[in-house]
Copies of this chain bind each other. A is one copy, B any other.
């Protein structure tokens, strides 16, 4: 049975991390540890799916020297990809981790400009590969040059091909994408708040009711299911099979970017396996917990995942 998951990465990155024990902000520093890896939300999702044993194919846009570096770094992880080449240079992100002060400075380069002529062959490839896939993940920001309805169009193409889409983006791309009726959208609290145009918090039961109301709004706007990631408060899901809460006992600390991407991977993975919402949410919240504990986005420790699966609490709050 075809269970391949197509992951779209329109604005990938090379993530470079320097660990420095006490940064001198106006002098020369010699990092104690240096790492670089394929990054951007789509590639984090793809790496997590690959680690879960899923059949994954990445399509997306890469360009110039840093594009080559992303391509070869991703190939080393074993994730298969069929990138479309663009002229502009793929972006880098640069993290300086000050291990003494316990703080991280992140420097995010702007993405390369993408022209309609560069996007056209990507879209053709996307349509071709969709026919061989059981689900598609549309994750991350749009690079400059692409219109904000790009994810909406990719979602519609997927729907026409009978392939469910999982959408994780923000701003106007999220609002327009929702209208194209994706199977699942996965905003975090800030993204949901921006999409509905009012402040939201997750600190109490009453606040969570407001989050659920906002999630309903995205559902009314077109999304078939809305899974809101709430950091240490877990997940709140408004689905065709009711309203659910997924929580993880104990304090969940760590890397929030990686955690959100792991949630998306967990949802997509159990979706193509045809599992229930209870099961999807159990795996998603456990993967999010395991990913938050890992130092690097796109990675998790299998033992952490197994432990989190055993302790995750899934509650059906209502019929929706």
- Chain A residues within 8 Å of B, Cβ to Cβ: 16, 18, 20, 23-31, 34, 36, 65-66, 68-69, 72-73, 92, 94, 96, 98, 101, 103-110
Contacting residues, chain B, for A96 (C-beta < 8 A): 25, 96, 105, 107
Contact with A94, one of B16, B73, B98, B103 (Cβ below 8 angstroms): B16
* A25, A72, A107, A108: most-surrounded residue (chain B CB, <10 A): A107
Contacting residues, chain B, for A103 (C-beta < 8 A): 25-26
Copies in the complex: 2
Minimum distance in angstroms from A80 CB to a CB of chain B? 19
Nearest CB in chain B to that of A93: its residue: B28
**Contact between chains at B98 and A25 (CB < 8 Å):** yes
A101 and B29 CA atoms in complex are apart in Å by 18
Minimum distance in angstroms from A32 CB to a CB of chain B? 9
**Contact between chains at B24 and A109 (CB < 8 Å):** no
Given A72-B65, A73-B65: A109 touches B26 (CB 8 Å cut-off) = no
Contacting residues, chain B, for A105 (C-beta < 8 A): 23-27, 29, 96
**Contact between chains at A108 and B30 (CB < 8 Å):** yes
Contacting residues, chain B, for A73 (C-beta < 8 A): 65
Given A16-B92, A94-B16: A108 touches B29 (CB 8 Å cut-off) = yes
Given A65-B68, A65-B69, A68-B65: A110 touches B23 (CB 8 Å cut-off) = no
